Structure 1
Amino acid sequence: MFFFGIFGIQQKDRPVKEFDNIICPECGRLTRAELRESFTYFHFFFIPIFKWNKQYFLQLRCCGSIYTVNPDYVRELQHGDSVDFDRLQKMQMPNNICPHCGSFINPNFAYCPFCGQKLS
């Protein structure tokens, strides 16, 4: 988070849609998946003015696998009920995602501010 008095730039991560009864291609279990949007935004008195650097991810609850979603496939996922894993790209766990809860965090943190688990 970066502030200029009453202005600021902040990173945000929010859930967009949840999918039920998905079979995980990694572990083969029946699970749930969550479509998440991550973006950076400029705000004035904590009122968002504009967003940039939008990225979409699909996170599975069973094994914590994360897939990047192509921007042209996002609209289909938002309005559909099924997920085509052939159109997604498996993502290695980056150091700005908590391995325990999947929240986007500052990689310099020793503990996750969302779940409280120690980061390695």
Structure 2
Amino acid sequence: MIQVTQGDDLAKVFKIENIYFDFDKSNIRYDASVQLAKILEVMQEYPKMKIDVRSHTDSRGSDSYNMALSDRRVKSTIKWLIANGVSADRLTGRGYGESQLTNHCSNGVDCSKEEHQANRRSEFIIVSME
């Protein structure tokens, strides 16, 4: 077993990709379901692990709209995990809108589709191993 501690980014520890979303969407794409299946395997291997799902948007759209969109992304991500066997009491989540961009693509900055895509993601943080 891999040594994990509270606060670790599950994706980095287990070499799993964050999941990504299409522009203005919250549905789980096929490529995201592949990564979620890997997270599911980890959670089955570590049955006491609890994770916090943190979802984000790119900077396009208003701050309030992006907060609501990131909340929908959290719910969609958690719903997928629950539907595939993870107990709801092992999952928490929060949307961050565009407040934690991974690059320079803030409001008014000209960025490529790929650069915006990098910000439209859900991350998985280990909050407890007990």
Task: Tell me the TM-score normalised to structure 1 length.
Answer: 0.28
Max radius of gyration: which structure? 1
- In the superposition, the TM-score normalised over structure 2's length comes to 0.27
Return the structure number with greater strand share. Answer: 1
User: Which is bigger in relative contact order (C-alpha 8 A, separation at least 6)?
Assistant: 2
